Amino acid sequence: MPIVNPFLEENSSPDATSLPDNNAPAEWRDPQPLPSTQETPEAFDITLLPRSFQPFVMDASERLSVDPAGVGIPLIIALGATLGRGLAVRPKRDDHWHEFANFWGCIIGRSGSQKSPALDEGLEPLEQFESELRADHLKRVAAWESEYKGAEDAPARPIEPQVKTQGVTLEKLYEILEGNPRGILQVRDELVGFLASLEKPNNAEARAFYLSGNSGKSPYQYKTKHQGENRLDAVCLSLFGAIPPDIFRGWLQDTNQQDGFLQRLQLAVFLDTRPFKLIDRTPNAEAFEVVLNTFRRLRAVNFGSSGYQVGTKFNENKPRSLGFSIGAQEDFNRWIVDLMNRIQSLPDSFASHLSKYRKTLPAYAMLCEIVDGNHPESISLESWQKALRFGLYLESHARRIYQSNLIPERVSAVALGELIVHGELQDGSTVRELIRRGRKELDSPEQVHKALGVLEACGWIHIEHPSNGGRPSKVIRIHPKFLETD
Number of Cβ within a 10 Å radius of residue 437: 13
Whether 137 and 177 map to the same domain: the answer is yes
- What pLDDT, on the 0 to 100 scale, is given for residue 268? 96
Give the largest CA-CA distance in the chain. Answer: 99
Whether 295 and 429 map to the same domain: the answer is no
Q: Which residues contact 245 (CB under 8 A, 6 or more apart)?
A: 108, 109, 110, 270
Mean pLDDT of 93-121: 92
Round the average pLDDT of the chain to a whole number and report it. 86
Domain that holds residue 55: 46-147+156-398
- What pLDDT, on the 0 to 100 scale, is given for residue 393? 97
Mean pLDDT of 77-103: 94
| Antiparallel, parallel or unpaired: β 87-90 and 320-323 | parallel
CA dihedral 270, 274, 278, 279 (to 10 degrees): -60
Q: What is the pLDDT of residues 169-185, one digit of tens each?
A: 888 999 899 889 899 99
Q: What is the pLDDT of residues 359-392, one digit of tens each?
A: 999 999 999 999 998 778 899 999 999 999 999 9
Whether 109 and 88 map to the same domain: the answer is yes
Give the CATH number for residue 428.
1.10.10
Tell me the range of 64-73, 143-152, 298-307 where mean pLDDT is highest: 64-73
Strand-pair partners of 105: 240, 267
- What pLDDT, on the 0 to 100 scale, is given for residue 151? 83
Choice between 183 and 21, residue whose per-residue pLDDT is larger: 183
d(CA 393, CA 389): 6
- What pLDDT, on the 0 to 100 scale, is given for residue 303? 40
| Cβ neighbourhood burial of 200 (10 Å; 0-12, 13-18, 19+) | exposed
d(CA 151, CA 281): 55
In this predicted structure, the answer to whether residue 188 has a pLDDT above a threshold of 90 is no
Percentage of the chain lying above the pLDDT 70 cut:
88
Choice between 466 and 107, residue whose per-residue pLDDT is larger: 107
d(CA 238, CA 75): 12
In this predicted structure, the answer to whether residue 6 has a pLDDT above a threshold of 90 is no
In this predicted structure, the answer to whether residue 259 has a pLDDT above a threshold of 60 is yes
Contact 363, 314 (CB under 8 A): no
Choice between 418 and 12, residue whose per-residue pLDDT is larger: 418
Whether 32 and 50 map to the same domain: the answer is no
In this predicted structure, the answer to whether residue 238 has a pLDDT above a threshold of 50 is yes
Whether 193 and 88 map to the same domain: the answer is yes
In this predicted structure, the answer to whether residue 8 has a pLDDT above a threshold of 60 is no
d(CA 135, CA 295): 16
d(CA 394, CA 400): 10
Whether 459 and 363 map to the same domain: the answer is no
The closest of 269, 251, 245 to 112, measured between CA atoms, is 245
d(CA 32, CA 120): 44
Angle between helices 326-342 and 357-372 (to 10 degrees): 160
- What pLDDT, on the 0 to 100 scale, is given for residue 469? 58
| Antiparallel, parallel or unpaired: β 184-190 and 104-108 | unpaired
- What pLDDT, on the 0 to 100 scale, is given for residue 485? 66
- Total-model pTM: 0.80
- What pLDDT, on the 0 to 100 scale, is given for residue 355? 96
Band (pLDDT 50/70/90 cuts) for residue 57 is: very high
Band (pLDDT 50/70/90 cuts) for residue 73 is: very high
Q: What is the pLDDT of residues 442-455, one digit of tens each?
A: 888 888 988 998 89
Lowest mean pLDDT among 50-54, 169-173, 239-243: 169-173
d(CA 297, CA 310): 8
Q: Which residues contact 172 (CB under 8 A, 6 or more apart)?
A: none
Whether 178 and 311 map to the same domain: the answer is yes
- What pLDDT, on the 0 to 100 scale, is given for residue 89? 94
Structurally, the chain folds into a number of domains equal to: 2
Whether 344 and 424 map to the same domain: the answer is no
The closest of 231, 188, 229 to 212, measured between CA atoms, is 231
Tell me the CA distances in angstroms from 430 to 423, 426, 464, 465, one per residue in order.
Answer: 15, 9, 9, 10
Whether 164 and 208 map to the same domain: the answer is yes
Mean pLDDT of 185-203: 87
Whether 319 and 430 map to the same domain: the answer is no
Contact 228, 171 (CB under 8 A): no
| Residue that is last in its domain, among 376, 398, 420 | 398
Mean pLDDT of 395-413: 85
Mean pLDDT of 406-426: 87
Mean pLDDT of 237-258: 85
- What pLDDT, on the 0 to 100 scale, is given for residue 257? 65
Instruction: Dihedral sign for Cα 149, 150, 155, 158, please.
Output: positive
Q: What is the pLDDT of residues 304-360, one digit of tens each?
A: 434 333 333 444 445 588 999 999 999 999 999 999 999 998 888 999 999 999 999
What is the phi/psi pair of residue 434, to 5°? -65, -40
In this predicted structure, the answer to whether residue 233 has a pLDDT above a threshold of 70 is yes
Whether 112 and 173 map to the same domain: the answer is yes
Contact 117, 155 (CB under 8 A): no
In this predicted structure, the answer to whether residue 18 has a pLDDT above a threshold of 60 is no
| Residue that is last in its domain, among 367, 398, 429 | 398
Amino acid at 141: V
- What pLDDT, on the 0 to 100 scale, is given for residue 122? 97
Give the CATH number for residue 179.
3.40.50
| Residue that is last in its domain, among 398, 420, 438 | 398
d(CA 5, CA 33): 5
| Cβ neighbourhood burial of 420 (10 Å; 0-12, 13-18, 19+) | buried
Whether 18 and 69 map to the same domain: the answer is no
Contact 327, 379 (CB under 8 A): no
Lowest mean pLDDT among 43-52, 313-322, 419-428: 313-322
